[in-house]
Structure formats: structure tokens, C-alpha cells
Amino acid sequence: MPENNRPYRIIISGGGTGGHIYPAVAIANQIKAINPDAEILFVGAKGRMEMTRVPEAGYKIVGLWISGLQRRLTLDNLSFPLKVLSSVRASHKIIKEFKPDAVVGVGGYASGPLLYAATSRNIPALIQEQNSYAGITNKLLAKRVDKVCVAYDNMKQFFPAEKLVLTGNPVRQDIMEIQDKRREALLHFGLISEQKTILVIGGSLGARTINQSVAAGVKQIAEAGYQLIWQTGKGFYAEVQQLEKPYLEQGIRAFDFIKRMDLAYAAADIVVSRAGALSISELCLAGKPAILVPSPNVAEDHQTKNAMALVNRQAAILVRDQAAQQELVPAALQLLQNEQEQKRLQQRIQKMARPNAAADIVKELLELIK
């Protein structure tokens, strides 16, 4: 406990994608598990996903007027310096009123101004980098903060070695508890237990290449006698609803968004996924044979680097985005037919799991406060 015996007061800042938000919520939940009276405030970017997802998880959030720099000249870019100044000023005000014992940055636009303001007031600060290739906000903040918690080895190229702690990425607790849920999971999705099941996930917004590749191969999957749980994202869902109709009886199931990801993993024999940091951490913990299709549309191609961290250890199969239309469904069918290969991938990916990530990050945070 802080010296005057009051509960901890922590600000967690960042967001923009599920890959930033879910680890942030997992860290908050772990703080609450250790110190139930702790007061936690989230700081996000106005108009971004965290402004709805964080309150859904039961936490208060304040929004800053901030966005990222676009790679081409836009009006947003012209207002960027103004947004940074405004957000730093707002961050100082938030810190002055909330009086945090420490701050945590999880990457994304909002963590920059908030952690800049906090470190200029000498408040203990920690950042958590989810990817194997560090984001620009975290790289800039690394010199100012006390600790940098990372999910991959070999991060000295981005961060000061003396600040690095290898913790892994925190994931939702229910993902770690799927062992006995297969029966419940198959019932939940209206599937039958005798047939093997593919889970396809393209992140919370869906992934165009994966969706198009699976759409082209739905008939093949159904005719081969396999079931499919398919998270399409909102944009592609209407199209897929028409596509799945003839195959509902064969166990083809499409959803715009899957809330019960624990049950989706529990039902799956193999998983097809993008290679976002959080997806990979979940796959390691769920111990699922995986085919990864990294998105080429992310900064510094970091999804390919995330995927290669597994592929180089023969813990996952890689299908390149540009080859997915031809190769993805055949690779999935081939893997489903090869139980030995499934077993091998499962054993190797499980070795890369870090189930104590949230606890390890919070331990580092509390040591900074003390």
C-alpha cells in the first residue's frame, strides 16, 4: 500500500485497437485482484474503440482530443500539433485532479500525451509493448519511463536494456480456462462434436483477405465434412450471411463479432488468424494449432515480425496475405487431415505461452510505487 495507507490510484492510458485495450483491461483487473480498493482511471482517445470497450469492462475513462499522424497530407495532420498541445494540457489537468501513484501506457495515441505529462511530474511510469516491433509512441516514451514490459525477446534494439522486463502480453482470464469447455462451446455455436472445426478470426474489425479467401473456399470446407466458426467483422457480414445459408446444416457459422472468444477457442481444432500481438498471445495460451496470415497494412509490417517469432520456432504456419486466396483454405484442410502436425504445433505454441503476464506487469508497477 502507499505510505499513507490509502488505496492505489493508477491511470492506464492508450488504446485505438482491441490489441491495446484488452491488455489494459487485464492489467486493471489484476490490480483490482491484488488491491480491491484501488482506484483506476483510463485515458483514451475521443472517438476511438476504448471509449465504449472500457466502460463495458466496468472502468471509468476520460477522452483526449488526439489522433495519429497520417502517412499522407491530410487536414488531420495539419491539426496534429494543436491536438498534441491540447492533449498534454488536458493530461496535466487529469493528473493534477486524480493524483495517481503511477501511470501505465499500453501504446496507441492517448498514451503519448498522458505519459509525457506524468513523467514531467516525476510520477512512476511503466509502458507495455505488445508487439515484436515496437510502436512509435512507446519508442518515444521509453527514455522517460521507469520500466518497459515486453512480450518478445530481442527488444534491446528499441528500448534501453536496463528498463526491459519480459512479461508477455496480458490476456482475458477466460482464454486461460478453456480446457473443459469444448462440449459447452459446440452447443453454444450449434455444432456437433464428431466433426473437426476451424475457427477463423480477423481481429475485431475483420480482415478482408482472410474473409475473401474463406468465402471462396466455404463449399470445399463443407464438402470435406468440417465445421467453421467465422468472425467476419461488421463490413463483410451481410455478404457472408447469404453465403452461409446453404451450408448451415453442415456446420458453417458466421458472426460479425464473437463475444465468447473462450468458447470459440474451446470449439476449435485449428485457428486461422491475423498476427496481431494479442491474437498470438491468446493462441499460445489456448494452445491451438494456428495458420497466421499477417496483415500487410500495419506500421513497419509488425504482424509479419510477430508471426515469424512463432514460425521460426515451428510453432505456427505462415500464409502470406498476397498468397491467401490460393493457399489459405488448402493449408487449413491439409492441417485438419494431419493430426501429428496438429499435435506438434500445439506442443510448440504452448511453450511460448506466458500465463502470468498481467501479474508480472502489476508486480513491476507496484515495485515502482513502493
DSSP 234-264: HHHHHHHHHHHGGGGGGTEEEES--S-HHHH
- In a domain, residue 2? The reply is no
C-alpha cell at 9: 490510484
Express each pLDDT in 68-95 by its tens digit. 655 556 666 666 677 778 788 999 999 9
* Alpha-carbon distance values, 167 to 126, 146, 302, 338 (Å): 13, 15, 19, 33
Q: Which of 116, 113, 134 is nearest to 125 (CA)?
A: 116
- Are residue 92 and residue 185 in the same domain, yes or no? no
- Are residue 198 and residue 110 in the same domain, yes or no? no
Q: What pLDDT band is residue 172 in, cutting at 50, 70 and 90?
A: confident
* Distance separating alpha carbons of residues 227 and 90, to the nearest angstrom: 50
Query: What total of structural domains would you count in the chain?
Result: 2
Q: What is the pLDDT of residue 109?
A: 81
Q: What pLDDT band is residue 205 in, cutting at 50, 70 and 90?
A: low
pTM of the model: 0.85
- In a domain, residue 223? The reply is yes
**What number is the average pLDDT over the span 31-55?**
93
C-alpha cell at 141: 516514451
**What number is the average pLDDT over the span 150-175?**
92
C-alpha cell at 105: 501506457
Give yes or no for residue 264 having a pLDDT over 60: yes
Residue 110 DSSP symbol: T
Q: What is the pLDDT of residue 70?
A: 54
* Distance separating alpha carbons of residues 65 and 365, to the nearest angstrom: 27
**What number is the average pLDDT over the span 58-75?**
76
Query: In whole numbers, what is the pLDDT of the chain averaged over residues?
Result: 90
Give the count of beta carbons closer than 10 Å to the beta carbon of residue 50: 31
Would you list which residues are annotated within the binding site for UDP-N-acetyl-alpha-D-glucosamine?
A: 17-19, 131, 172, 204, 258, 303
Would you list which residues are annotated within the binding site?
A: 17-19, 131, 172, 204, 258, 303
What residue type is assigned to position 253 of the chain? R
**What number is the average pLDDT over the span 3-27?**
84
- Are residue 164 and residue 269 in the same domain, yes or no? no
**What number is the average pLDDT over the span 259-263?**
93
- In a domain, residue 41? The reply is yes
- Are residue 96 and residue 155 in the same domain, yes or no? yes
- Are residue 157 and residue 186 in the same domain, yes or no? no
- Are residue 129 and residue 163 in the same domain, yes or no? yes
Give yes or no for residue 204 having a pLDDT over 80: no
Give yes or no for residue 318 having a pLDDT over 60: yes
- Where in the sequence is the domain holding 108, given as residue range(s)? 9-169+355-369
**What number is the average pLDDT over the span 356-362?**
96
Q: What is the pLDDT of residue 136?
A: 84
- In a domain, residue 4? The reply is no
Q: What pLDDT band is residue 176 in, cutting at 50, 70 and 90?
A: confident
Q: What is the pLDDT of residue 47?
A: 86
Query: With the CA atoms of 301, 302, 303 and 307 taken in that order, what torsion angle do they form, in degrees rounded to the nearest 10?
Result: 110
Output phi, psi for 319, to 5 deg: -125, 120
Q: What is the pLDDT of residue 242?
A: 85
Q: What pLDDT band is residue 238 in, cutting at 50, 70 and 90?
A: confident
Q: What pLDDT band is residue 15 in, cutting at 50, 70 and 90?
A: confident
* Residues sharing a CB contact under 8 Å with residue 82, sequence separation 6 or more, in sequence order: none
Residue bearing cell 511453450: 351
Q: What pLDDT band is residue 145 in, cutting at 50, 70 and 90?
A: very high
Output phi, psi for 99, to 5 deg: 55, 65
Q: What is the pLDDT of residue 76?
A: 66
**What number is the average pLDDT over the span 34-56?**
92
State whether residue 104 is helix, strand or coil.
Answer: strand
- Are residue 203 and residue 100 in the same domain, yes or no? no
- In a domain, residue 1? The reply is no
- Are residue 125 and residue 211 in the same domain, yes or no? no
Give the count of beta carbons closer than 10 Å to the beta carbon of residue 122: 7
**What number is the average pLDDT over the span 202-230?**
89
Q: What pLDDT band is residue 331 in, cutting at 50, 70 and 90?
A: very high
**CATH number of the structural domain spanning residue 157:** 3.40.50.2000
- In a domain, residue 3? The reply is no
Q: Are residues 272 and 216 in contact, defined by beta-carbon separation less than 8 angstroms?
A: no
Least confidently predicted of 60-69, 240-249, 331-340: 60-69
- Are residue 217 and residue 147 in the same domain, yes or no? no
- In a domain, residue 49? The reply is yes
- Are residue 143 and residue 259 in the same domain, yes or no? no
- H-helix or E-strand spanning residue 369: helix 357-369
What residue type is assigned to position 60 of the chain? K
- Are residue 82 and residue 65 in the same domain, yes or no? yes
- Are residue 243 and residue 145 in the same domain, yes or no? no
Give yes or no for residue 45 having a pLDDT over 60: yes
State whether residue 69 is helix, strand or coil.
Answer: coil
- In a domain, residue 86? The reply is yes
